[in-house]
Structure 1
Amino acid sequence: MLQVITDSACDLPQQLAQNHNIDIIPFIVHIDGKEYVDGKTIHSDDVFHALREGKKPTTSQVPARFFWETFTKYAEKGVRCIYVAFSSKLSGTCNTARMVAEEVRLRYPNFQLTICDSLSGSLAQGLIALEAAQLGAAGAEYNEVVERVMLRSDNNVEHIFTVDDLGHLHRGGRIGWASAVMGSVLRVKPILHVLDGQMLLLQKARGKTAALKRIVDVLKERSLGHVEQLIGITHADDGETAEQLKEMLENALGYKHFIVNTIGSVLGCHIGLGGVAAFFVNKKASIPNLPLETV
Structure 2
Amino acid sequence: MIRIVIDSGIDQNDFMKETYDYDFLPLSIIIDGQDYLDQVDISLEEIHAHMEKGLLPKTAQVSPKTIIEAFNKARDLGEDIIYLTIYSQFSGTFQVAQAVAKEYGEKFPDMNIAVIDSKGGSGGGALLALQAMEMVKRDEDFDTIVEQTKWNAEHIQYHFTLNNLEWLVKGGRLPKAAGTAGDMLNIKPYLSVNETGIYLKKLVRGQERIYKRMIKEMTEGVGSFTDQLITISHVNDYGAALKLEAMVKAALPEATVQIFDIGAVLAAHLGIGGVGVFYFDQKPEHYVYIDE
TM-score for both structures, normalised by structure 2: 0.91
Q: Which runs of 5+ in 2 are unaligned?
A: none
Structure 1 residues 89-128: aligned runs within 5 Å: 89-128=89-128
CA distance in 2, matches of 1:248, 1:157: 19
Q: Secondary structure at the match of 2:273?
A: coil
- Residue 261 of structure 1 corresponds to 260
Q: Secondary structure at the match of 1:233?
A: strand
Q: CA deviation at 1:182?
A: 4.5
Moved over 2 A (4+): 75-78, 164-173, 180-187, 224-228, 285-294
Task: Show CA shifts across 1:92-112 (max 9, x none).
Answer: 000010111123224322221
CA distance in 2, matches of 1:11, 1:49: 19
CA separation of 1:169 and 1:25: change in aligned 2, threshold 3 A: farther
Deviating more after overlay: 8-17 vs 256-265: 8-17
CA distance in 1, matches of 2:52, 2:170: 17
TM-score for both structures, normalised by structure 1: 0.91
Whether 2:251 is the aligned partner of 1:252: answer yes
Deviating more after overlay: 87-96 vs 259-268: 259-268
Whether 2:291 is the aligned partner of 1:293: answer yes
The AA in structure 2 aligned to 1:91 is S
- Residue 195 of structure 1 corresponds to 194
The AA in structure 1 aligned to 2:250 is N
CA distance in 2, matches of 1:286, 1:105: 29
Structure 1 residues 1-295: aligned runs within 5 Å: 1-154=1-154, 156-169=155-168, 171-172=170-171, 176-177=173-174, 182-187=178-183, 188-196=187-195, 198-283=197-282, 285=283, 287=285, 289-294=287-292
CA distance in 1, matches of 2:99, 2:275: 34
Q: CA deviation at 1:286?
A: 5.0
Q: Secondary structure at the match of 2:9?
A: helix
Q: Secondary structure at the match of 1:254?
A: coil
Aligned residues: 289
Q: CA deviation at 1:130?
A: 1.1
Q: CA deviation at 1:166?
A: 3.7
CA separation of 1:199 and 1:243: change in aligned 2, threshold 3 A: same
Q: CA deviation at 1:63?
A: 1.3
Deviating more after overlay: 221-230 vs 245-254: 221-230
The AA in structure 1 aligned to 2:151 is L
Matched-pair identity in %: 28
CA distance in 1, matches of 2:217, 2:233: 16
CA distance in 1, matches of 2:274, 2:140: 37
CA separation of 1:108 and 1:76: change in aligned 2, threshold 3 A: farther
CA distance in 1, matches of 2:103, 2:269: 32
CA distance in 1, matches of 2:54, 2:102: 41
CA separation of 1:287 and 1:197: change in aligned 2, threshold 3 A: farther
What RMSD, in angstroms, separates the aligned Cα atoms of the two structures? 2.0
CA separation of 1:172 and 1:102: change in aligned 2, threshold 3 A: farther
